[in-house]
Amino acid sequence: MNKQSNVSINRKKSDGKRGLLFWAILGIILASPLSAQSENSEPGLLDTFAISIGFTGEWITHPGVFISAEISPLSKNGHQLVCALTGFWYVHPNNHTALSLQAEGGYRYTFPKGGYLETMLGAGYKKEWLHADGGVTIYEKTSDGTILEGENSGYSYFQPTLSLGGGWDMNPLLNIPVKIFSRLMIAGNYPYNNYFLPRFYIHGGMTYSF
């Protein structure tokens, strides 16, 4: 009876060890694809958030600054869909000061070593204030053709935009979440004396990705 009980106990211990080994192997097998999926998963929308800041101007002689916040809802193999909200301010000396806010969307392609090209379409609101200090009088023309003295309350415009640009993303080579870039923006002011007035802007600056 003692020999049989010892054999039974040894079998139970052996079965217990085999059971633990089975569950351990099964756990590793099940955990492996989950771990791989976590490592290869696409970043979340907030993980693509970035802030840009830099110089802007209606050409170089009308200087100003801009700030932009962007996200990338789609990104794969260097291809990106980019959405941004941009505000900029500039001064046209002896003429006007302007403030603009616009929404943009576009496409960016980043090369393996970090160089990239992009194009963006946008639409927004622009306000201009004339430099009318020092005794300068502003006149306005009414709908019936009458010329009256006006107030310098500013002029509002709808502003569609198209921008083309490029830069260098430091992250692929240097592991630094910073881009440097420049863009040429073609914009329009409407209505400008009942017409569409084209304007050209230069942007240059840096982007920091969070």
CATH number at residue 182: 2.40.160.20
Within this chain, do residues 49 and 36 fall inside the same structural domain, yes or no?
no
Of 1-10, 18-27, 103-112, 118-127, minimum mean pLDDT range: 1-10
Torsion of CA 139, 144, 146, 149, to 10 degrees: -30
Within this chain, do residues 7 and 91 fall inside the same structural domain, yes or no?
no
Within this chain, do residues 80 and 182 fall inside the same structural domain, yes or no?
yes
Within this chain, do residues 54 and 147 fall inside the same structural domain, yes or no?
yes
Structure-token pair, residue 87: 């505000």
Give the predicted TM-score (pTM) of the model: 0.70
Q: What is the pLDDT of residue 6?
A: 45
Within this chain, do residues 52 and 35 fall inside the same structural domain, yes or no?
no
Q: How confident is the model at residue 180 (pLDDT cuts 50, 70, 90)?
A: very high
Structure-token pair, residue 165: 């640009």
pLDDT tens track for 86-127: 999 999 988 889 999 999 999 999 999 999 999 999 999 999
Beta bridge partners of 91: 97
Within this chain, do residues 140 and 70 fall inside the same structural domain, yes or no?
yes
Alpha-carbon gap, residue 182 to 168, rounded angstroms: 10
Within this chain, do residues 128 and 195 fall inside the same structural domain, yes or no?
yes
Highest mean pLDDT: which of 2-16, 21-35, 88-102, 107-121?
A: 107-121
Within this chain, do residues 7 and 64 fall inside the same structural domain, yes or no?
no
Domain final residue, candidates 26, 41, 56? 41
> In the chain, how many domains are there?
2
Within this chain, do residues 34 and 84 fall inside the same structural domain, yes or no?
no
Within this chain, do residues 200 and 149 fall inside the same structural domain, yes or no?
yes
Range of the domain at 64: 45-209
Within this chain, do residues 141 and 201 fall inside the same structural domain, yes or no?
yes
Cβ neighbour number for residue 119 with a 10 Å cutoff: 15
Of 108, 65, 111, 63, nearest to 84 (Cα)?
108
Of 39-43, 57-61, 130-134, minimum mean pLDDT range: 39-43
